[in-house]
Structure 1
């Protein structure tokens, strides 16, 4: 049986690492939830990062206090504000430099510069993990 060529092993490792990185990004995005109150503070929607309404809190007496148009305006104002907040949170979470993994090209460059046929497949962890 033949051994797998080191470049193929590296490519398989890169593929596996890319899948893990995509899963991490999805998990970070799914954790984002925004809850911004309406101007009166009586309506609080809960939205996810995709702008989907997950929950809606109406303080007791809210429906009696507002007419139909006013209540709809309160709900829409809170949803709009929550959507903007979720987008802000997403931008912050996805651009956090502490969460960025080590570039694959850098790892591959270092691996190729190394010598020896028995050199292990590159480690795609963060810089502090690979040393």
Structure 2
């Protein structure tokens, strides 16, 4: 009967831990949704962490209330704000997920003196 060398077992354990961390991170990123209203509040888009438009709400009567150019500006402003918010959420998740020992290893200036 052969047994696994302790260093090989440690590497396998670290790989499993890394896979679990990546899965958790992807799950958190998949849950990101940003919904920022337009300047008038009549348009609310939903944007995911990758900046994809996943939904668009128009308040009743919005299409009749605005000209085509005004409605386009409302939609684009709301999408822009939502995309920026989703990017901030994504950035926060990514920065919170990096272990401090990796940050110190990557940036010698960040290591304590």
TM-score when normalising by structure 2:
0.82
Structure 1: unaligned runs, 5 residues or longer: 105-131
Within 5 A, what are the aligned runs for 1:49-60? Answer: 49-60=49-60
Secondary structure (helix, strand or coil) at the match of 2:3 reads coil
RMSD: 1.7
Matches of 1:17 and 1:101, distance apart in 2? 13
Match of 2:106 in 1: none
Match of 2:9 in 1: 9
Matches of 1:100 and 1:77, distance apart in 2? 32
Within 5 A, what are the aligned runs for 1:56-95? Answer: 56-95=56-95
The structure that is helix-richer by fraction is: 2
Structure 2: unaligned runs, 5 residues or longer: 103-113
- Structure ID, larger Rg: 1
Number of aligned residues: 102
Match of 1:129 in 2: none
Matches of 2:74 and 2:100, distance apart in 1? 45
Q: 1:100 Cα deviation (Å)? A: 5.6
Matches of 1:102 and 1:49, distance apart in 2? 24
Secondary structure (helix, strand or coil) at the match of 1:95 reads helix
Q: 1:91 Cα deviation (Å)? A: 2.0
